[in-house]
Structure 1
Amino acid sequence: MFYAILAYHVEDAIKALTPQEDAALMADLLEINTRLRVEGTLGPSARLGATQDAFTLRGPGDGVVIDGPFAETKEQLLGLYVVDCATRDETVAIARDLRRVNPTAVYEIRPILLFTPGAPLAGK
């Protein structure tokens, strides 16, 4: 089953990291990425761009494009991982590894179905 692990954090706290602190955090996260890739459980992962550069499509019909993500939380979605795990517990263990190296982040976990046009849904 595929799961998305969504990484939330207070964006200003991440922006306040020195380049050395950010590099150290990323090195720790990349160790986990490397291990998961070797294990064959890591799908796409990304660090998202700044929230100030985000925009949202919402509303009826064609919708309206508006600036910002307009999150209803004090944390913003800053990144995501897609992992292929057999169990929910295996996914939680990965999120705990991520939290171990970035303990002030919040990780939301959602089952997902990957969509590839013309192919059956993966993870079903």
Structure 2
Amino acid sequence: MKYMLLIYSEEGAWTDEAREHCYEESMRLGQELREKGQYLGSSPLEPVASATSVRVREGKPLVTDGPFAETREQLGGFFLVEARDRDEAIAIAGRIPAARVGTVEIRPVTELPGLFELGEGSLAQRGAGE
């Protein structure tokens, strides 16, 4: 099963040196997971000051600067992994360096067959608005 591991922490919690060490340790973890066939992707995110939120109300988009939620901890990155079960996903999340200063939220990924397959009759062919 696929799990999205969402990494939250306070933006000011990291010194530049600590952030670089976290990135290096995260890359080693990613490589280890890749070798086991569990790594599907990961990336840190730019600071929340670069975020834009979009909501559609009454058919009109409302665009605002910043993240959706006003909280101390902000979404800072993610890992997408393949794990046998929730317990294995928890074990992987516990190895993410940012878990030591923030929170890693574990969310199972719902897989919808054919959602992004290319070909006649797929959603990608029909377009999202049809």
Equivalent position SS for 2:100: coil
CA distance in 1, matches of 2:117, 2:55: 24
State the match for 2:80 in structure 1. Answer: 82
The reply to whether residue 92 of structure 1 matches residue 102 of structure 2 is: no
Deviation at 1:118, TM superposition (A): 4.5
Between the aligned residues of both structures, percent identity stands at: 32
CA distance in 2, matches of 1:21, 1:11: 12
Are the aligned partners of 1:49 and 1:78 in contact in 2 as well (CA < 8 Å)? Answer: yes
State the match for 2:35 in structure 1. Answer: 38
Relative contact order higher in (CA < 8 Å, ≥ 6 apart): 1
Q: Partner letter of residue 63 of structure 2?
A: V
Q: How does 1:1-124 map to 2 (within 5 A)?
A: 1-14=1-14, 17-18=15-16, 20-60=17-57, 61-99=59-97, 102-114=99-111, 115-118=115-118
Residues 56-103 of structure 1 deviation map (CA, whole Å, 9 limit, x = unaligned): 00131132111111323210000011111121111000001115x650
Equivalent position SS for 1:71: coil
Larger radius of gyration: 2
TM-score when scaled to structure 2?
Answer: 0.79
Q: Displaced runs of 4+ in structure 1, greater than 4 A? A: none
How many residue pairs get aligned? The number is: 116
Deviation at 1:24, TM superposition (A): 1.6
Equivalent position SS for 2:84: coil
Provide structure 2 residue ranges, at least 5 long, that are not aligned to the other structure. Answer: 123-130
CA distance in 1, matches of 2:19, 2:34: 22
CA distance in 1, matches of 2:61, 2:54: 6
Equivalent position SS for 1:70: coil
